[in-house]
Amino acid sequence: MASRLKNLSDFSNTEIPSAAPYRFGIVTAEWNAEITNALYQGAYDSLVEHGASEDHIHSYPVPGSFELIAGADVLLNNIANLDAVICLGCVIQGETRHFDFICNAVANGLANVALKHNKPVIFGVLTTDNQQQAIDRAGGKHGNKGVEGAVTAIKMAHLAKSIKI
Ligand SMILES: Nc1c(NC[C@H](O)[C@H](O)[C@H](O)CO)[nH]c(=O)[nH]c1=O
Ligand SMILES: CC(=O)[C@@H](O)COP(=O)(O)O
């Protein structure tokens, strides 16, 4: 298994551009808040660590991961000059197939929002079998999906700027 032996948030062997020129949105689901709060802190701290201005990070909560779709769309429609939106959530398998519907809808919905706005919309949603897998990926042994989302947002914002020039 890919994540069995490594920290998925280890970017020590990759070059990460400065985040200073860019404006970011962060939408965070409130379901499984003890997990998503850790994802958010990882994302926020990573953006600042790489040079983003705190005034250029626009953070909003939504009820659940399904609402990340509308949340990302609202931010891109109403906050000027966003370079990327990071969407953070944690969907944990329950007794029914609801998990499957939420996960598929969120992945497809966020991709559609990105295409609609021609802006990077980062899928920072944990989709786990159980709570422990989520803990392991929200600052545990397998890293922090929020950190991964922030680095991805910085790289994609830099890419867009590079191509436009
Ligand atoms: N079970 C989880 C949910 N379910 C709620 C949905 O995301 C959505 O808010 C509801 O269906 C109303 O539209 N959300 C999560 O983020 N994580 C879960 O484990
Ligand atoms: C992903 C979900 O919506 C899930 O956690 C809800 O649990 P259940 O499938 O038992 O209703």
Q: Give the Cα separation of 48 and 18 in Å (integer).
A: 10
Domains of the chain with bracketed CATH: 25-163 (3.40.50.960)
Phi and psi of 86, rounded to 5°? Answer: -100, 125
126: which 2 tokens?
């944990």
**Given this model, what pLDDT does residue 12 score?**
75
pTM: predicted TM-score of the whole model, two decimal places: 0.95
Give the mean pLDDT of 36-55: 98
**Given this model, what pLDDT does residue 10 score?**
81
Is-contact 54 22, C-beta < 8 A?
A: no
Please classify residue 63 by burial: count the beta carbons closer than 10 Å to its beta carbon, then call 0-12 exposed, 13-18 middle and 19+ buried. exposed
Residue 60 has pLDDT above 90, yes or no: yes
Active-site residue (options: 98, 117, 142, 158): 98
pLDDT tens-digit profile of 111-136? 999 999 999 999 999 999 999 999 99
pLDDT tens-digit profile of 143-158? 999 999 999 999 999 9
ipTM value greater than 0.85: yes
62: which 2 tokens?
């939504």
Q: Which atom of ligand 2 is nearest to the CA of 103?
A: 1
Q: Which atom of ligand 1 is nearest to the CA of 65?
A: 16
d(CA 116, ligand 1 centre) in Å: 23
| Nearest residue by C-alpha to atom 5 in ligand 1 | 64
Residue of 84, 12, 89, 37 whose CA lies nearest to 45: 37
Residue 21, C-beta contacts closer than 8 angstroms, at least 6 positions apart: 157, 161
DSSP 80-119: TT--EEEEEEEEE--SSTHHHHHHHHHHHHHHHHHHHHTS
